[in-house]
Chains A and B, each alone.
Chain A
Amino acid sequence: AQSVSQHNHHVILSEAASLELGCNYSYGGTVNLFWYVQYPGQHLQLLLKYFSGDPLVKGIKGFEAEFIKSKFSFNLRKPSVQWSDTAEYFCAVYGQNFVFGPGTRLSVLP
């Protein structure tokens, strides 16, 4: 069975700080990997996705993620966060089906 874990429940950063959110999954086969963002009161939106090829993928709003197959990880990064990045972030994996992690709430202080 697939599962997804996210390292942090809640992360608090000041503006301009660097961000890294951890995501690990368990599944033995080929996977497609996603990060979604949910701004307060809104639905989930796709940040970036990895299907194959270059393991470093770039998404919208300056986010990027690196797929490390040997570690079953797909960590999300941003070099300098803004107050508007305050949101909940979900890692998701598609192996047999879509499975989401529990989410990480990011609070960026102005």
Chain B
Amino acid sequence: EAAVTQSPRSKVAVTGGKVTLSCHQTNNHDYMYWYRQDTGHGLRLIHYSYVADSTEKGDIPDGYKASRPSQENFSLILELASLSQTAVYFCASSGTGGEAEQFFGPGTRLTVL
């Protein structure tokens, strides 16, 4: 049974539109993360959270907002989607930060036209 789920699995958005990607975990983990994956860039950290109602900026936060309304749920929000935000987005959770193993969701393929 999948412990980290993402929705939608794929989405086509228009430039300038608002996009919300959702993540749900049943691992009872405190930490949750959002990454984007582009060819040749591996995984880059956008935002993360270690407690509900609090989020932290990652390495590439510009153009993205995050929301952690509960321990289980973590959303990534693109207020004004741009072509450069076309990518695959992964959510992950871990019991602690830093060294801990991260458990990834299946990813969301976002295409901005």
Judge: A and B partners, yes or no.
no
B residues within 8 Å of A by Cβ?
none
- Residue numbers of A with Cβ under 8 A of B are none
